[in-house]
Amino acid sequence: MALAQRTSLIASAWLGVLPVSAAPERPLQERLDAAPVGAVIEVSPGAYHGRLVIRKPVSLVGRGRPAINGGGKGSVVTILADDVTVRGFLITGSGADLMQDDAGIFVQASRAAIESNRIENALHGVYLKKAKDGRLVGNRITGMTTLPGPAKAASSAADTLDMCAPVARNINIRGNGIHLWNSSGVLIERNRITESRDGIYFSFSDECVVRRNVIRKVRYGLHYMYSDRNRFEENHFTESAAGAAMMYSKGLAVSRNIFEANRGFRAYGLLLSAVDRTRIEHNRIVSNNVGIYMENSNGNLFLRNDVAGNYIGIRLTASSDDNRFSRNRFRNNLHPAELAGVSGTNNWSAGGTGNYWQHAAPVDLDGDGVGELPHRQADTLGKLRESFPLVSLLSGSPALELLEFAQQQVELPGLSAIEDPAPLVAPSAAAPPAR
């Protein structure tokens, strides 16, 4: 094979699909433009040119996973009409311009259904802009992880091939798996997202349902800003810098999710900043650097969550007020609680029932599973961590365990502590598995 042909094949492969071998009788864009309103356009297996624009209500349905390639420019498929369906395609090769919101599928319309597609090598997987009542169901999205190799003078055929070798694309300049801006009423269900910047990004988007998605190896599994009254159920956020970073929002329902194995410097299972009047229940928050982090968050309810195996179970700042915690299970955390000041308005029980703390020794005289005496969960290292970071090496030492035991018996001056007035005796009375 001639050198020019081999170089062309390698460049085409980087864009995500081999060159179109045989054009269909009519290009897809012509078929879309000629179709009547409400038509179902079935597409046979093969490779097709992208940068499609859909301007009328139709269904574009792939049989045998046909591939649509955008050629590295713009969005591969753009939906500008209401009531459009795109189902069953491999969509690849978008542009890489974050300022232009390049995406595998770009939606600016209502009631779009994006179902059972594979989206690869696209800046954003699916981008919704001012879109209402959409359905994103059963898609697999892999972010744009590589760039073309750096240009250099070629002195041989081997050097020419090296010029096309991909190099890693920094995670901060990738797009998001699913990006919502100023959208509402969207269902995001059973999608699998990996290697993007953020898995699902919300901005000014309300009353959506995010359910049964698996998101891994991204920056933030869920990055969430200025969005209210949304529901997050049975999702799995893992192996990222944060499972979920939720900010400046209110009225959320977060239930039966798993936030797991989010590790590294400043890594969190669930981070809340300026989140108010939100219900967080039946979640598993396990094996993270920090399980739960809260600041400037008020009036939230934490109920029956399993916070286990984290370096820090919960980190709470004094700027968070009027939050309630009941029937949560804190177990196997190296530091159950880290406190940056203490607010006296947070309540560590509800309806006469507190939480399970692994090293507590509650006195249960009447055998109802709830201790009659309060449990004090001290932050024994406190402010020393800020001035002397290496003091954390003492974690788990006998001396600190003795100090924590003493704090449980009687309040010691100078130590910040959570006081649970009705601690649970057994973990089984607290949080069951998320699912």
What is the domain-level CATH number for residue 192? 2.160.20
pLDDT average, residue stretch 326-348: 88
pLDDT for 157 equals 43
Q: Answer yes or no: is 42 within a domain.
A: no
pLDDT for 401 equals 58
Q: Which of 120, 142, 270, 115 is nearest to 199 (CA)?
A: 142
Least confident of 2-6, 272-276, 288-292: 2-6
Report CA dihedral (291, 295, 297, 303) to the nearest 10 degrees. 20
pLDDT for 22 equals 43
Q: How far is the C-alpha of 104 from the C-alpha of 203, rounded, in Å?
A: 19
pLDDT of 325 strictly over 70: yes
Average pLDDT value for the chain: 85
Both structure tokens of 141: 């999205």
Structure pTM?
Answer: 0.85
Q: Answer yes or no: is 231 within a domain.
A: yes
3-state per-residue secondary structure call for 304-321:
CCEEECCCEEEEEECCCC
Note the pLDDT tens digit of each residue in 241-255.
999 999 999 999 999
Q: Answer yes or no: is 49 within a domain.
A: no
pLDDT for 364 equals 86
Query: Which residues constitute the domain of residue 398?
Result: 102-429
pLDDT of 396 strictly over 80: no
- 3-class DSSP state of 362: coil
Q: Answer yes or no: is 168 within a domain.
A: yes
DSSP string, 158-188: HHHHHTT--EEPPGGGS--SEEEES-BS-EE
According to DSSP, residue 350 is labeled B
> What order do you get walking across the sheet with 103-107 strand by strand?
52-54, 77-79, 103-107, 124-129, 178-181, 198-203, 220-225, 242-250, 268-276, 290-295, 312-317, 335-340
Q: Answer yes or no: is 303 within a domain.
A: yes
pLDDT average, residue stretch 111-128: 97
pLDDT for 126 equals 98
pLDDT average, residue stretch 98-103: 94
Number of domains in the chain: 1
- 3-class DSSP state of 255: strand
Q: Answer yes or no: is 1 within a domain.
A: no
Least confident of 127-141, 339-353, 402-416: 402-416
Least confident of 188-197, 245-254, 307-316, 399-408: 399-408
Q: How far is the C-alpha of 10 from the C-alpha of 162, rounded, in Å?
A: 10
Q: Answer yes or no: is 289 within a domain.
A: yes
Q: How far is the C-alpha of 345 from the C-alpha of 20, rounded, in Å?
A: 65
Note the pLDDT tens digit of each residue in 200-230.
999 999 999 999 999 999 999 999 999 999 9
Q: Answer yes or no: is 20 within a domain.
A: no
